[in-house]
Amino acid sequence: MSVESFYDNARRLVANLLEETPKADREQLIDAYAQLLTQLHAAESHKMLNEVIDDARTRLDARLSPDPVRQTIASVQTTVQDFWRALWKE
């Protein structure tokens, strides 16, 4: 999911920071990388929010569908997702 891609991108930014440290002004470097990490966080958050909205839209469409099979599938999907979330919160 997005956590892994955020981690990979943040790790790459920190690696660049460590490579550039001897060559640059410390305060400018901190400001530049703080801004890059902020932009990375915003991009990943936006991507994750879009995934959640798309999933909710799909499930809502299925629940509002006149087809009882699609409604049943949506109910089962919601139940499985709730079960999965409950397992990972423990």
Q: In b/e form, how buried is each residue of 34-45, taking b as 16+ CB within 10 angstroms?
A: eeebeebeeebe
pTM of the complete model: 0.52
pLDDT at 76: 76
Q: Where are the domains of the chain?
A: 2-89
| Contacts by residues 25-31 (CB-CB < 8 Å, ≥ 24 positions apart) | none
What angle (nearest 5°) sits at the alpha carbon of residue 43, between those of residues 38 and 47?
145
Q: What would the pLDDT profile of 6-65 be if each residue is shown by its tens digit? A: 788 888 888 887 787 677 777 787 788 888 888 888 888 888 778 777 777 777 777 677
Per-residue confidence band for 2, with pLDDT thresholds at 50, 70 and 90: low
